[in-house]
């Protein structure tokens, strides 16, 4: 019976939204990459007219870097749009994993099968992670393939490292949403909290780039450790990646423990 395998059931249920998200993100990333050829001759002039303070609001520390291929992708994709898209995708995917099952009262049907809460929890999370891996892979390919076609001369490792940086933030926020829905059973709350945390983190990082007085507060910001120019230049920042994964694991563990003990009011 299909319900005995929550993994397959959840994958089947999420194919349609994943398909549309994948299509949208691939069109955006490939279009931005191809646009570099059309804009290459005028990017330098545009950068000179662009106020540095305004650029920092959009996550661009050095506006003159926009003339380079990696700087262009940072400015047009990685600095703002991809974090917004991936965080929203991750938060909704996390909130819907268990929260939607409780809202629709289908969790009763799932747990009436010979299935433990732990198995349900981790099968749902496995599908969440699969969705995040698919989305990040699509981003990489949607940038790398056009990059080869127009000879931007960006290596796959640099694109992978930059995409991993934004994916780790999205996974952390999505895991937070997933665990909050498992702890509270409230889908709306699991959507609101990660979005607010992400917004405050971004605003804190912008404020710190404009004034040193926010440095202490900004140490807790997720975006303080989000450095796309460094990712393109030197690759994966393994200590930062390890910290993100460790925090994600802690949040996931708390969610699992609480889900196993919580009264689901079945």
Whether 47 and 67 have beta carbons less than 8 Å apart is answered as yes
**CA-CA distance, 53 to 131, in Å (whole number)?**
36
CA 217 → CA 36, 73, 203, 206, distances in Å?
Answer: 36, 28, 11, 12
Residues 68-108 have pLDDT tens digits of 888 889 888 998 899 999 999 999 999 988 887 777 777 77
What are the residue boundaries of the structural domains of the chain, listed by start?
A: 2-261
- Res. 1: pLDDT tops 60: no
- Residue 29 · residue 136 · CB < 8 Å: no
SS3 at position 113: coil
Cβ contacts of residue 24 below 8 Å, gap of 6+? 85
Q: What is the pLDDT of residues 205-248, one digit of tens each?
A: 878 777 777 777 778 888 888 888 899 999 999 999 999 999 99
pLDDT tens sequence across 21-45 = 999 999 999 999 999 888 876 776 6
Kindly indicate the confidence band of residue 57, based on its pLDDT and cuts at 50, 70 and 90.
low
Close Cβ partners of 63 (under 8 Å, ≥ 6 residues apart) = 47, 50, 52, 55, 75
Res 58 pLDDT > 80: no
pTM of the prediction? 0.89
How many Å apart are CA 217 and CA 204, to the nearest integer? 7
What is the pLDDT averaged over residues 196-203? 91
pLDDT band (50, 70, 90) for residue 261: confident
Measure the CA–CA gap between 171 and 189, rounded to whole angstroms.
18
Query: Can you give the C-alpha Rg of the chain in angstroms?
Result: 20
Mean pLDDT for the chain overall: 86
Sequence-distant (6+) residues with CB within 8 A of 40 are: none
> Looking at residue 174, what is its pLDDT?
96
Mean pLDDT of 127-148: 96
Give the pLDDT of residue 130: 95
Percent of the chain as helix, strand, coil, to the nearest 5:
85, 0, 15
Which pLDDT value is given to residue 170? 97
């Amino acid at each position: 019976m299909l319900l005995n395998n929550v993994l397959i059931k959840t994958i089947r249920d999420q194919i349609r939204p994943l398909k549309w998200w994948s299509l949208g993100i691939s069109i955006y990333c490939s279009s931005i990459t191809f646009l570099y050829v059309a804009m290459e001759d005028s990017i330098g002039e545009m950068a000179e007219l662009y106020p540095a303070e305004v650029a920092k609001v959009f996550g661009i520390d050095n506006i003159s870097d926009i003339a380079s291929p990696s700087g262009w992708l940072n400015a047009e994709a990685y600095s703002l749009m991809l974090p917004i898209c991936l965080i929203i995708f991750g938060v909704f995917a996390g909130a819907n994993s268990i929260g939607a099952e409780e809202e629709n009262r289908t969790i009763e049907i799932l747990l009436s099968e010979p299935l433990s809460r732990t198995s349900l929890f981790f099968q749902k999370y496995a599908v969440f992670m699969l969705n995040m891996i698919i989305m990040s892979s699509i981003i990489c390919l949607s940038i790398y393939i056009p990059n080869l076609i127009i000879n931007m001369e960006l290596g796959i490792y640099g694109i992978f490292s930059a995409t991993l940086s934004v994916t780790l933030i999205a996974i952390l926020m999505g895991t937070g949403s997933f665990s909050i829905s498992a702890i509270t059973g409230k889908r709306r709350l699991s959507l609101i909290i990660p979005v607010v945390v992400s917004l405050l983190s971004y605003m804190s990082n912008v404020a710190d780039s404009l004034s040193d007085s926010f440095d202490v507060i900004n140490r807790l910001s997720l975006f303080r450790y989000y450095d796309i120019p460094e990712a393109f230049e030197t690759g994966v920042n393994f200590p930062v990646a390890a910290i993100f994964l460790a925090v994600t694991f802690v949040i996931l563990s708390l969610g699992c423990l609480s889900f196993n003990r919580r009264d689901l009011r079945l």
